[in-house]
Structure 1
């Protein structure tokens, strides 16, 4: 698979930065593609060469992180806890974007999408559970709330520490649900 050229990477970076700034200023739902391209100083054509709409821009960032967390590569020997810590490292790298999307001016659409993706991922580790079952749904909500709390409190601990704390809480839910 070939790497995108420098212009594509530059355009995507500018759009991601502009997205965060606009969400913080106005909220996700109020942003238009025109405002986004103007703020990023890229053409609408450049935007549409990369994304179909603003939702796909956000989805791509989240999907990249989720793919890295859920990889099934045989060489990936990371435990589920390590994958969660790595995902929180991604959230840390994009803390302004996630804070904006999950905050008061954020997007209910994105929060729902994140919960659904994390519920599907959680169900893979729970025998007899599907992504729309209660236990994976509660676990996903706890994952998302852990992220929200961490971001709202300006990331008071490193990603690994919040991963360990939230994982302990989630293991308690799993143990309780098993009885």
Structure 2
């Protein structure tokens, strides 16, 4: 009985998430009503209010759950998950792009022109926190860094967000593994080096 109830709850929540994404794409979040959501999801208002207070609660809980799942999936547990083997993409980046791929409709909608502006901000904040924790854990001697920590954190964060946006906007024409390899090469070798440009070329 409990299993069936849990399945019904998950089905209802999934239907409402799909309805939310479809309606955001269609007319933007501000124009959506609870009536729109229940009609799109084919449920009644009483069912909606058993799960959520209003449309804002629905949005916030969906964002919270997605970002929590992202962190649990991607955050590295050891140095090998960051660096990986020679010639192979960082396992952390592979997990990141695979997660985006598996939840493409959510990320594409949230980061689109009709999307939720606060979502990308929250994604940036969370990524900065994860990157900062990784640096603190694996860079034991902070004074050995050649660049200020906050500059490195911002550079990596906005590079990742930029690539995610580009990938979604290009309809994910490259595989998650390909994107992870490109990001790994840029992150560990530097953007100019990946283009074959060195300082001596400018002398």
Category of TM-score, reference length = shorter chain = 0.7 to 0.9
2:186 counterpart residue number: 169
| Structure-2-length-normalised TM-score | 0.70
The answer to whether structure 1 residue 58 and structure 2 residue 83 are counterparts is no
Larger Rg: 2
2:128 counterpart residue number: 119
| Structure-1-length-normalised TM-score | 0.79
Q: Please give the residue correspondences for 1:35-74 in structure 2 after superposition, counting only pairs within 5 Å.
A: 35-42=36-43, 43-48=47-52, 52-70=57-75, 72=77
Shift of residue 78, structure 1, vs aligned partner? 6.2
Q: Please give the residue correspondences for 1:1-179 in structure 2 after superposition, counting only pairs within 5 Å.
A: 5-42=6-43, 43-48=47-52, 52-70=57-75, 72=77, 79-80=81-82, 81-126=90-135, 127=139, 128=142, 133-171=150-188, 172=190
2:199 counterpart residue number: none
Contact 2:24 2:109 in 1 (8 A): yes
RMSD over aligned Cα atoms: 3.0
> 2:134 is paired with a residue of what secondary structure?
coil
Contact 2:93 2:183 in 1 (8 A): no
> 1:104 is paired with a residue of what secondary structure?
coil
Structure 1, unaligned runs of 5 or more:
174-179
Structure 2, unaligned runs of 5 or more:
83-89, 192-203
Contact 2:94 2:180 in 1 (8 A): yes
- Compared with structure 1, are the counterparts of its residues 40 and 157 closer, same or farther at alpha carbon in structure 2 (3 Å cutoff)? same
